[in-house]
Structure 1
């Protein structure tokens, strides 16, 4: 294996939204000069950052996890300011509470929204009339947005280029190991089969579903993860719904909202979106499992249930489905909370594992990084000079 000619201050593994944002942060906020980002796909933001519901949460979705809801409220305001060109705001978002099988009543949901200071008001009669009143207890007009993953990918490419981050795509990290002194060694395999070894001081594993598929001295995450093959259906909605998003709460229901990157609507269903799940473990590559999965769509069952609650969506047309691996913290399955995973590995100093539950969680990660003492090459030079000449 040929060594890299130049050592790096940091290697970021994973070119999704979290990996690209962290790489730019290391340069912009922490003063690192030599940062490399490695992505196994042929372009940035190709996997979970793209294949999802494209929702920027504002807290409404988490009445059973106050912390997640509150952080969503705080983070959405920042996200809109930092990525305005990627945010779609010009649509009406409705939350409807089912009369049966919902884990919250309309009054409970309204009270919860007031507790987290989220905008909510009764939907006007014209919008309420879209719903089957025998099945829906109440409908609320809320403030929630969608993001355009294509525009975020364009931002990532431009920002990393401006920062001078070295981006390598079509390349997979196989091992992370202790190097000499305080250094780490990252072993990579390029798409053409060639291998390379990169020396660095810090490694940030942002591979989402692939967190525990790196070998060598990498210890894996202490937090137990659950993997799931999920289907997000993309549908063309009738003209009346072109600028409307709907979420029916809170239990075995569904959500449909604009999907800006394609000019369609996403459709997810609590019962039918999850296809297959398993406990994450080293040696069981989630992406390989996805590659051999038959991908038989359940959109017919999704739409059949949707039409019960919103009859006029019977005219919706299925265009295609996005299948992707979804990774969650096993401990949050009960309350639907979506905290970040941020682990330092004492066995491998300088190595971090990062997992975000939703796109706006990036600010929770950056707050964690702000609290870390990350030495730059300039810091080390000053220390060495002090030892030699002090």
Structure 2
């Protein structure tokens, strides 16, 4: 079955947080009256926007990438102000520095925090006692938050409805092509029922995260190299002594636990055990298919056992579930762990953009980029 083609100003592919925010921005801030959002799942924000550690970064995580750290410092207060309903503040935020195998010492970390203007102070003796002193050099209190992705999804549904954005659920974009004479773009789609359709538009925003390079037609892929990882975020019920805490051990093959507001649990991630395997992204290797075929055998025992060497109380954590997802990172930033945005304007497809953010607060970097773009919304 083929559905009658439609014409819009912009088609956004991918209904995660970035796609939703960009669709809202185009309709409200740039005056586009005909905006359509294509989401392959039955709801918004059920993939990477949900399957992550739910951390609103404030820079602490990136001592080897000053730019990423500084942008987090700038973006965090804006994010908290714009989405207060999704923010969880009421937990103790702790960063601990390992004595061995860390790429940063306690003194270097403290100096770095002062350089980016991030709040940091020594943890009280009672908190320090939670850690194994032979393995942990120092412990600090910081200012960081968690977010509830289900609240962000509720915001998106309402904001897009208010802006008049049409959402097509259970609809996959297959290809992007140039219209004859260079008069716009054509997006080929297929719904879950098998119905195919085409959408003509001036602009396409490819916000599919792990699926950025899975479009065909005239779309030749991103110029920037991408790496795909199948990752596991364990969900655990922590013992009472850790219940009101978020703890990160820096900066090497260590771990992090954070409140996960959407489930009332804690995530547990580990630099060594969270990534299960990886590959260089390219067209023809469908990351979603790889994830679907993966056996998803949990590594939580190894995560807990290793984390317990530094934080003995975590050995009492009870495993509940795991969030498996494909994580996409820029190959060029593997060395410094930086998380800049990817914002590519495709030369051979005028009006087509690929957008990737490494963190939730990167959305402001994307919107600033869009502010500099001359987007034509004059009548055909």
2:176 is matched with which residue? 176
1:235-250, aligned counterparts within 5 Å? 235-250=236-251
Instruction: Tell me if structure 2 keeps the 8 A contact 1:10–1:203.
Output: yes
Instruction: Tell me if structure 2 keeps the 8 A contact 1:187–1:198.
Output: yes
What CA deviation, in whole Å up to 9, does each residue of 1:167-188 have, x standing for no partner?
Answer: 0011111110011442110000
Q: Distance in 2 between matches of 1:217 and 1:6?
A: 20
2:298 is matched with which residue? 297
Instruction: Tell me if structure 1 keeps the 8 A contact 2:5–2:197.
Output: no
Q: Distance in 2 between matches of 1:13 and 1:219?
A: 16
What CA deviation, in whole Å up to 9, does each residue of 1:277-316 have, x standing for no partner?
Answer: 0000000000000000010000000000111111112211
What CA deviation, in whole Å up to 9, does each residue of 1:301-344 have, x standing for no partner?
Answer: 00001111111122110100000000000000000000000000
Give the number of equivalent residue pairs.
379
Does 2:195 match 1:194? yes
Instruction: Tell me if structure 1 keeps the 8 A contact 2:343–2:355.
Output: yes
In the TM superposition, residue 4 of structure 1 has moved relative to its aligned partner by: 4.0
Instruction: Tell me if structure 2 keeps the 8 A contact 1:37–1:166.
Output: yes
* Secondary structure of 1:213 counterpart: coil
Q: How big is the alpha-carbon RMSD for the aligned residues of Structure 1 and Structure 2?
A: 0.9
2:223 is matched with which residue? 222
| Deviant stretches of 4+, over 2 Å | 1-6
1:101 is matched with which residue? 101
In the TM superposition, residue 5 of structure 1 has moved relative to its aligned partner by: 4.8
Instruction: Tell me if structure 2 keeps the 8 A contact 1:4–1:198.
Output: no
Q: Distance in 2 between matches of 1:257 and 1:216?
A: 42
In the TM superposition, residue 234 of structure 1 has moved relative to its aligned partner by: 0.3
Q: Distance in 2 between matches of 1:220 and 1:5?
A: 25
Does 2:120 match 1:156? no
2:264 is matched with which residue? 263
* Secondary structure of 1:223 counterpart: coil
* Secondary structure of 1:7 counterpart: strand
1:351 is matched with which residue? 352
Deviates more, 1:75-84 or 1:306-315: 306-315
1:67-82, aligned counterparts within 5 Å? 67-82=67-82
Q: Which runs of 5+ in 1 are unaligned?
A: 382-390
Q: Distance in 1 between matches of 2:191 and 2:117?
A: 49
Q: Distance in 2 between matches of 1:375 and 1:261?
A: 39
Q: Distance in 1 between matches of 2:80 and 2:121?
A: 22
Instruction: Tell me if structure 2 keeps the 8 A contact 1:185–1:200.
Output: yes
Q: Distance in 2 between matches of 1:4 and 1:14?
A: 22
* Secondary structure of 1:70 counterpart: helix
Instruction: Tell me if structure 2 keeps the 8 A contact 1:4–1:199.
Output: no
* Secondary structure of 2:368 counterpart: helix
* Secondary structure of 2:139 counterpart: strand
2:365 is matched with which residue? 364
2:134 is matched with which residue? 134
Deviates more, 1:59-68 or 1:5-14: 5-14
1:309 is matched with which residue? 310
2:63 is matched with which residue? 63
Q: Which runs of 5+ in 2 are unaligned?
A: none
Instruction: Tell me if structure 1 keeps the 8 A contact 2:5–2:200.
Output: no
1:321-340, aligned counterparts within 5 Å? 321-340=322-341
* Secondary structure of 1:212 counterpart: coil
Instruction: Tell me if structure 1 keeps the 8 A contact 2:5–2:198.
Output: no
In the TM superposition, residue 219 of structure 1 has moved relative to its aligned partner by: 1.8
Q: Distance in 2 between matches of 1:357 and 1:147?
A: 15
1:117 is matched with which residue? 117
Instruction: Tell me if structure 1 keeps the 8 A contact 2:58–2:76.
Output: yes
Q: Distance in 1 between matches of 2:3 and 2:53?
A: 41
Q: Distance in 1 between matches of 2:20 and 2:180?
A: 27
In the TM superposition, residue 229 of structure 1 has moved relative to its aligned partner by: 0.1
1:22 is matched with which residue? 22
1:277 is matched with which residue? 278
What CA deviation, in whole Å up to 9, does each residue of 1:184-236 have, x standing for no partner?
Answer: 10000010011001111100000000000000001210000000000000000
In the TM superposition, residue 380 of structure 1 has moved relative to its aligned partner by: 3.7
